[in-house]
Amino acid sequence: MNDEATMMPLTVAQVAQAVNGRLIVPQTAVHDADAVVTSAVSDSRQVREGSVFVAIAGERVDGHDFVAKAAQLGAAVALVQHEVEAPVAQIIVNDTVDALGALARANIAARRASGEPFTIIGITGSVGKTTTKDLTAALLSTVGPTVAPVGSFNNEIGLPLTALKVGERTRFLVAEMGASHVGEIARLTRIAPPDIAVVLKVGVAHLGEFGSVERIAQAKSEIVQGLVPGGTAILNADDEHVAAMAAIAPGDVLWFGIQDQHDGRVDLLTARDITTDDLDHPSFTMIAADGERVPVTLGICGAHNVMNALAASSVARTLGMSLTDIASTLAAQSRISPHRMAVSAVQRAGGQFTLIDDSYNANPDSMKAGLDGLARWRRGGVKPFRVAVLGAMLELGGDEKALHESIGAYAAGLGLDAVVAVGNATDEHFDQLAGAIADGARQALAQGEQDAQHTDGDTTASVDWVHNADQADARVAELAREHADTVVLLKGSHFSGLSALAERWSAAGEPGAAA
């Protein structure tokens, strides 16, 4: 991928014009209105010579407090909402987040105006966005210089900062677009209008914010509506809400999916004969609409990632990659963004275990996918002792308690050996949601309601409800000491703090050692 992170050439004065701001240049400033900016950042620690520093006033930290530091590090100009006493040129605007978007939009427009080939791929969906983004970027980087966000930079701040890494040599921008409200993706597409839009799935993530699945579908459809004239929509044929978006596509519609019935859709990339190995690496036959087929083995874990790989492959094939080259590149991708099915070996408090870190975030669909992966895990064909460490899920609306109970029951139905539900002693609501996971697991075990389709053998699982990461750490270490071959899945919302626990464990382990 493109690591130069150098935006299109703009002077400080042109930046002010792009954001419709008022430029002031203190006499003590090193850079004047004619200085050329080279990058844009909102974290003063990332400032380098020639940067635009965007001062954003957050809930806990106000970027205006770091303008002077940005000046010391060589910033050419600061975007601010009020003048700051600092030796740096400043552009005063009403809202620096809006100004950041305007600057990114100007950068993309300048790149398009150059006349050189340039393609924006926008990706959205309730689950799988970041993994699909990572796989798409890996594929396209074999074709030309590619810019993509690190991790899940997919909102009104993250997407513009990524778009401002697009420079004169950039061939592809892979933009992840997320939303918790109707209208957010539309805003992002106005900043970076995609040539290709990928829609993965309409699920129940953020259901509490949207109010209904139909509203979630409406929000996701904004990426299709935001396509450039004649742009291509790549849609999940297995999801009825996504498939319906074909009606609003402004150009070609391509499909991906694994179900047998697709109503005669001809432009379909599909997977057949899906299997997984002992470490849950999927293998399948990828089949194009013209009948071409190629065997694929993913370097990342999780059968659910077959759909993400199909989506990414659809993009790459549309842009000229052969199925053979796609397959070899997918096989080489063993690590993607942090905290997404990352495997490592951990030694902790006298015990050792294999960690499957999928702790970045969680919703019912991704929870089930992670649990399925844990259930499939084998070592030499033998089941290890399998522990699911689960945090609460947020923004699920009025059914949140029942949804958490259903996840606990689902984990119990898979025949796992232990479930550790992790709450929060300082947040009663969050803590009670974790308790609902434990309740659901206990009820399912007590009533023997294990789904025969998923059961992996009779077991008497232990179920624990703990109230912070330290207690979870201690319980997992205890289980690992008692069972020589232990595998631990870590899965929960970002607020659960499980990603911090993953970092703690990673410091005591060796990334990829168990893979």
**Binding site residues for ATP, as ranges?**
125-131
- Using DSSP, state whether 33 is helix, strand or coil: coil
**H or E, element range at 502:** helix 498-506
Distance CA 215, CA 64 (A): 36
Q: Which of 230, 221, 231, 311 is nearest to 270 (CA)?
A: 311
Burial of 481 (0-12, 13-18, 19+ CB in 10 A): middle
**H or E, element range at 37:** strand 36-37
Distance CA 443, CA 18 (A): 59
Distance CA 174, CA 85 (A): 38
**H or E, element range at 91:** strand 89-92
Distance CA 421, CA 438 (A): 6
End-to-end CA distance of the chain: 24
Distance CA 323, CA 325 (A): 6
- Using DSSP, state whether 469 is helix, strand or coil: helix
Cβ atoms 168, 355 nearer than 8 A = no
Binding-site residues, please?
A: 125-131
Question: On the CB side of 114, how many CA atoms lie within 13 Å of its CA?
Answer: 18
462-466/418-422 β-pairing = parallel
Distance CA 362, CA 404 (A): 11
Contacts of 261 (CB under 8 A, 6+ apart): none
Q: Which of 391, 474, 466 is nearest to 430 (CA)?
A: 391
Q: Which two tokens stand for residue 227?
A: 């396509």
